[in-house]
Protein backbone atom coordinates (compact mmCIF):
# COMPACT_ATOMS: atom_id res chain seq x y z
CA UNK A 1 0.00 0.00 0.00
CA UNK A 2 1.49 3.35 -1.05
CA UNK A 3 2.44 5.94 1.53
CA UNK A 4 -0.22 8.40 0.30
CA UNK A 5 -2.99 5.87 0.91
CA UNK A 6 -1.62 5.19 4.38
CA UNK A 7 -1.73 8.93 5.14
CA UNK A 8 -5.33 9.22 3.99
CA UNK A 9 -6.33 6.25 6.15
CA UNK A 10 -4.52 7.73 9.15
CA UNK A 11 -6.28 11.07 8.82
CA UNK A 12 -9.61 9.35 8.33
CA UNK A 13 -9.19 7.39 11.55
CA UNK A 14 -7.87 10.43 13.35
CA UNK A 15 -11.13 12.33 13.42
CA UNK A 16 -13.88 10.22 11.89
CA UNK A 17 -12.93 6.62 12.49
CA UNK A 18 -13.69 6.51 16.19
CA UNK A 19 -17.33 6.49 17.21
CA UNK A 20 -16.66 8.87 20.06
CA UNK A 21 -15.23 11.44 17.65
CA UNK A 22 -18.27 11.14 15.39
CA UNK A 23 -20.71 11.64 18.27
CA UNK A 24 -18.89 14.54 19.90
CA UNK A 25 -20.24 17.98 18.96
CA UNK A 26 -17.93 20.93 18.50
CA UNK A 27 -19.15 23.87 20.61
CA UNK A 28 -20.88 26.77 18.88
CA UNK A 29 -18.93 29.18 21.07
CA UNK A 30 -15.37 28.28 21.99
CA UNK A 31 -13.89 29.03 25.40
CA UNK A 32 -10.42 29.97 26.68
CA UNK A 33 -9.12 31.16 23.32
CA UNK A 34 -6.05 33.32 23.84
CA UNK A 35 -4.69 33.41 20.28
CA UNK A 36 -7.56 32.42 18.00
CA UNK A 37 -10.27 35.10 17.63
CA UNK A 38 -12.94 34.93 20.39
CA UNK A 39 -15.68 34.74 17.73
CA UNK A 40 -14.20 31.50 16.30
CA UNK A 41 -17.06 29.14 15.46
CA UNK A 42 -17.14 25.44 16.23
CA UNK A 43 -16.71 24.54 12.56
CA UNK A 44 -13.77 26.91 12.19
CA UNK A 45 -12.18 25.53 15.36
CA UNK A 46 -12.64 21.98 14.09
CA UNK A 47 -10.86 22.85 10.83
CA UNK A 48 -8.03 24.48 12.77
CA UNK A 49 -7.58 21.45 15.05
CA UNK A 50 -7.66 19.06 12.09
CA UNK A 51 -4.96 21.19 10.49
CA UNK A 52 -2.80 20.90 13.60
CA UNK A 53 -3.25 17.13 13.67
CA UNK A 54 -2.35 16.73 10.02
CA UNK A 55 0.65 19.05 10.23
CA UNK A 56 2.15 17.48 13.37
CA UNK A 57 0.88 13.90 13.08
CA UNK A 58 -0.67 14.05 16.56
CA UNK A 59 -4.08 13.58 18.17
CA UNK A 60 -6.15 15.57 20.68
CA UNK A 61 -4.39 14.26 23.77
CA UNK A 62 -1.09 15.77 22.63
CA UNK A 63 -2.18 19.27 23.74
CA UNK A 64 -5.36 18.64 25.72
CA UNK A 65 -6.08 16.87 29.00
CA UNK A 66 -7.58 13.49 28.16
CA UNK A 67 -6.72 9.87 27.44
CA UNK A 68 -6.19 8.29 24.05
CA UNK A 69 -9.12 6.06 23.15
CA UNK A 70 -11.52 7.77 25.55
CA UNK A 71 -14.62 9.70 24.33
CA UNK A 72 -13.86 13.30 23.42
CA UNK A 73 -16.59 14.33 25.85
CA UNK A 74 -14.25 13.21 28.65
CA UNK A 75 -11.49 15.65 27.58
CA UNK A 76 -10.93 18.92 29.40
CA UNK A 77 -10.29 21.12 26.38
CA UNK A 78 -10.33 24.35 28.41
CA UNK A 79 -7.50 23.26 30.71
CA UNK A 80 -4.08 24.86 30.29
CA UNK A 81 -2.33 22.11 32.22
CA UNK A 82 -0.24 20.74 29.34
CA UNK A 83 2.85 22.65 28.27
CA UNK A 84 2.31 21.51 24.68
CA UNK A 85 -0.84 23.61 24.56
CA UNK A 86 1.05 26.73 25.58
CA UNK A 87 3.77 25.87 23.06
CA UNK A 88 1.11 25.62 20.36
CA UNK A 89 -0.12 29.10 21.25
CA UNK A 90 3.43 30.41 21.07
CA UNK A 91 3.87 28.83 17.65
CA UNK A 92 0.60 30.36 16.43
CA UNK A 93 1.80 33.80 17.48
CA UNK A 94 5.10 33.21 15.69
CA UNK A 95 3.36 32.11 12.48
CA UNK A 96 1.04 35.14 12.62
CA UNK A 97 4.01 37.49 13.05
CA UNK A 98 5.95 35.90 10.19
CA UNK A 99 3.01 36.10 7.80
CA UNK A 100 1.85 39.60 8.72
CA UNK A 101 5.19 41.32 9.33
CA UNK A 102 7.44 39.63 6.79
CA UNK A 103 5.74 37.42 4.20
CA UNK A 104 3.14 40.09 3.41
CA UNK A 105 5.92 42.45 2.29
CA UNK A 106 7.49 40.02 -0.20
CA UNK A 107 6.93 39.79 -3.92
CA UNK A 108 3.96 37.61 -4.84
CA UNK A 109 2.97 37.52 -1.17
CA UNK A 110 -0.51 36.35 -2.14
CA UNK A 111 1.01 32.98 -3.04
CA UNK A 112 3.15 32.70 0.09
CA UNK A 113 2.04 31.66 3.55
CA UNK A 114 3.79 30.00 6.46
CA UNK A 115 1.76 27.34 8.28
CA UNK A 116 2.46 24.63 10.84
CA UNK A 117 2.97 22.23 7.95
CA UNK A 118 5.79 24.38 6.55
CA UNK A 119 8.18 23.20 9.26
CA UNK A 120 6.57 20.17 10.88
CA UNK A 121 5.77 18.19 7.69
CA UNK A 122 3.68 15.65 9.60
CA UNK A 123 6.14 15.36 12.49
CA UNK A 124 5.50 16.71 16.00
CA UNK A 125 9.18 17.69 16.27
CA UNK A 126 10.24 19.70 13.18
CA UNK A 127 13.67 18.12 12.93
CA UNK A 128 15.61 17.41 9.77
CA UNK A 129 16.60 13.81 9.07
CA UNK A 130 20.25 14.68 9.63
CA UNK A 131 19.52 15.98 13.13
CA UNK A 132 17.50 12.89 14.05
CA UNK A 133 20.29 10.58 12.90
CA UNK A 134 23.08 12.52 14.58
CA UNK A 135 21.14 12.69 17.85
CA UNK A 136 20.64 8.92 17.65
CA UNK A 137 24.33 8.43 16.92
CA UNK A 138 25.51 10.47 19.87
CA UNK A 139 23.06 8.82 22.25
CA UNK A 140 23.01 5.21 21.05
CA UNK A 141 25.86 4.63 18.62
CA UNK A 142 26.40 3.61 15.01
CA UNK A 143 24.29 0.45 14.70
CA UNK A 144 21.23 2.18 16.18
CA UNK A 145 21.74 5.08 13.80
CA UNK A 146 21.79 2.82 10.76
CA UNK A 147 18.66 1.02 11.97
CA UNK A 148 16.97 4.35 12.65
CA UNK A 149 17.57 5.43 9.07
CA UNK A 150 16.17 2.17 7.72
CA UNK A 151 13.09 2.43 9.96
CA UNK A 152 12.42 6.05 9.03
CA UNK A 153 12.90 5.34 5.34
CA UNK A 154 10.44 2.44 5.52
CA UNK A 155 7.88 4.56 7.36
CA UNK A 156 8.23 7.89 5.57
CA UNK A 157 9.83 7.43 2.15
CA UNK A 158 7.67 9.11 -0.47
CA UNK A 159 6.23 11.62 1.99
CA UNK A 160 7.58 15.11 2.69
CA UNK A 161 8.36 14.50 6.36
CA UNK A 162 12.04 13.71 5.79
CA UNK A 163 14.47 14.27 2.94
CA UNK A 164 15.89 10.92 1.86
CA UNK A 165 18.10 12.28 -0.90
CA UNK A 166 21.71 11.10 -1.03
CA UNK A 167 22.81 14.42 0.48
CA UNK A 168 21.27 13.63 3.87
CA UNK A 169 23.62 10.75 4.67
CA UNK A 170 26.52 12.64 3.10
CA UNK A 171 25.94 15.40 5.65
CA UNK A 172 25.67 12.89 8.51
CA UNK A 173 28.91 11.21 7.46
CA UNK A 174 30.56 14.61 7.14
CA UNK A 175 29.63 15.49 10.71
CA UNK A 176 31.01 12.17 11.95
CA UNK A 177 34.21 12.82 10.02
CA UNK A 178 34.53 16.25 11.64
CA UNK A 179 34.23 14.55 15.01
CA UNK A 180 37.19 12.29 14.15
CA UNK A 181 34.90 9.29 13.60
CA UNK A 182 36.00 8.43 10.07
CA UNK A 183 35.43 4.70 10.60
CA UNK A 184 31.78 5.31 11.47
CA UNK A 185 31.46 7.79 8.61
CA UNK A 186 32.55 5.03 6.23
CA UNK A 187 29.69 2.80 7.41
CA UNK A 188 27.17 5.59 6.87
CA UNK A 189 28.57 6.19 3.39
CA UNK A 190 28.29 2.49 2.60
CA UNK A 191 24.66 2.70 3.69
CA UNK A 192 24.21 5.59 1.26
CA UNK A 193 25.57 3.45 -1.55
CA UNK A 194 22.84 0.88 -0.93
CA UNK A 195 20.30 3.43 -2.07
CA UNK A 196 22.45 5.55 -4.38
CA UNK A 197 25.00 3.13 -5.87
CA UNK A 198 26.06 5.60 -8.58
CA UNK A 199 26.74 8.51 -6.25
CA UNK A 200 29.98 10.25 -7.14
CA UNK A 201 30.05 12.35 -3.98
CA UNK A 202 29.63 9.28 -1.79
CA UNK A 203 32.68 7.74 -3.47
CA UNK A 204 34.56 11.01 -2.96
CA UNK A 205 33.76 11.16 0.76
CA UNK A 206 34.66 7.49 1.14
CA UNK A 207 38.03 8.22 -0.44
CA UNK A 208 38.55 11.09 1.97
CA UNK A 209 37.59 8.97 4.99
CA UNK A 210 39.82 6.07 3.97
CA UNK A 211 42.74 8.47 3.46
CA UNK A 212 42.27 9.89 6.95
CA UNK A 213 42.45 6.36 8.33
CA UNK A 214 45.68 5.72 6.41
CA UNK A 215 44.05 3.20 4.04
CA UNK A 216 45.66 4.44 0.84
CA UNK A 217 44.58 1.53 -1.38
CA UNK A 218 40.89 1.91 -0.66
CA UNK A 219 41.17 5.69 -0.82
CA UNK A 220 42.61 5.46 -4.35
CA UNK A 221 39.88 3.03 -5.37
CA UNK A 222 37.14 5.37 -4.17
CA UNK A 223 38.68 8.47 -5.73
CA UNK A 224 39.01 6.61 -9.04
CA UNK A 225 35.32 5.83 -8.79
CA UNK A 226 34.56 9.45 -7.95
CA UNK A 227 36.48 10.66 -11.01
CA UNK A 228 34.69 8.13 -13.20
CA UNK A 229 31.30 9.29 -11.96
CA UNK A 230 32.16 12.99 -11.82
CA UNK A 231 34.64 13.54 -14.70
CA UNK A 232 34.23 17.33 -14.48
CA UNK A 233 35.08 17.50 -10.79
CA UNK A 234 38.65 18.89 -10.59
CA UNK A 235 38.96 18.27 -6.86
CA UNK A 236 38.41 14.52 -7.24
CA UNK A 237 41.12 14.35 -9.92
CA UNK A 238 43.50 16.37 -7.78
CA UNK A 239 43.01 14.13 -4.74
CA UNK A 240 43.53 11.01 -6.85
CA UNK A 241 46.71 12.30 -8.46
CA UNK A 242 48.07 13.32 -5.07
CA UNK A 243 47.51 9.84 -3.63
CA UNK A 244 49.06 8.09 -6.64
CA UNK A 245 52.23 10.13 -6.30
Residues 133 and 114 in one domain: no
Whether residue 85 contacts residue 64, with contact meaning beta carbons closer than 8 Å, is answered with yes
The answer as to whether 115 is a domain residue is: yes
Listed residue (116, 118, 98) closest to 106, CA to CA: 98
Task: Say what the pTM is.
Answer: 0.82
Residues 103 and 153 in one domain: no
Residues 44 and 112 in one domain: yes
Residues 150 and 62 in one domain: no
| Mean pLDDT for all residues in the chain | 90
The answer as to whether 2 is a domain residue is: no
Q: Please state the rounded mean pLDDT for residues 28-45.
A: 89
**Pick the residue with more confidence: 30 or 182?**
182
Question: Which pLDDT does position 23 carry in this prediction?
Answer: 64
Q: What is the pLDDT of residues 158-171, one digit of tens each?
A: 999 999 999 999 99
Question: Which pLDDT does position 28 carry in this prediction?
Answer: 84
Containing domain of residue 218, as a range? Answer: 129-244
For the chain, how many structural domains are there in total? 2
Question: Which pLDDT does position 24 carry in this prediction?
Answer: 74
Residues 22 and 112 in one domain: yes
Q: What is the CATH number of the domain that holds 184?
A: 1.25.40.10
The answer as to whether 160 is a domain residue is: yes
Residues 180 and 111 in one domain: no
Last residue of a domain, one of 68, 102, 120: 120
Q: Please state the rounded mean pLDDT for residues 188-210.
A: 98
The answer as to whether 146 is a domain residue is: yes
Residues 107 and 18 in one domain: yes
Residues 151 and 221 in one domain: yes
Q: In the chain, pLDDT over 90 holds for what percent of residues?
A: 78
Last residue of a domain, one of 63, 98, 120: 120
Res 174 pLDDT > 60: yes
Residues 14 and 40 in one domain: yes
Question: Which pLDDT does position 157 carry in this prediction?
Answer: 96
Res 206 pLDDT > 90: yes
**Phi, psi at residue 76, to the nearest 5°?**
-100, 85
Question: Which pLDDT does position 42 carry in this prediction?
Answer: 87
Question: Which pLDDT does position 108 carry in this prediction?
Answer: 83
Res 56 pLDDT > 90: yes
Res 154 pLDDT > 90: yes
Residues 106 and 163 in one domain: no
Residues 133 and 116 in one domain: no
Q: Please state the rounded mean pLDDT for residues 40-66.
A: 92
Last residue of a domain, one of 70, 93, 120: 120
The answer as to whether 1 is a domain residue is: no
Residues 136 and 229 in one domain: yes
The answer as to whether 220 is a domain residue is: yes
Question: Which pLDDT does position 9 carry in this prediction?
Answer: 40
Q: What is the pLDDT of residues 77-105, one digit of tens each?
A: 999 999 999 999 999 999 999 999 999 99
Res 7 pLDDT > 50: no
Amino acid sequence: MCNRVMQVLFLSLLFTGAASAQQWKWPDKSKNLTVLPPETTGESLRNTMVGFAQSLGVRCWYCHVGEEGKPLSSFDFESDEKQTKETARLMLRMVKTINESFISKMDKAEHLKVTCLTCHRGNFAPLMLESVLLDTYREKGLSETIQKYRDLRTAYYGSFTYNFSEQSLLDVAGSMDDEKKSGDAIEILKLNLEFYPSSGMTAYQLGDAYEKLGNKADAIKQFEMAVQRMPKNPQAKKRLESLKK
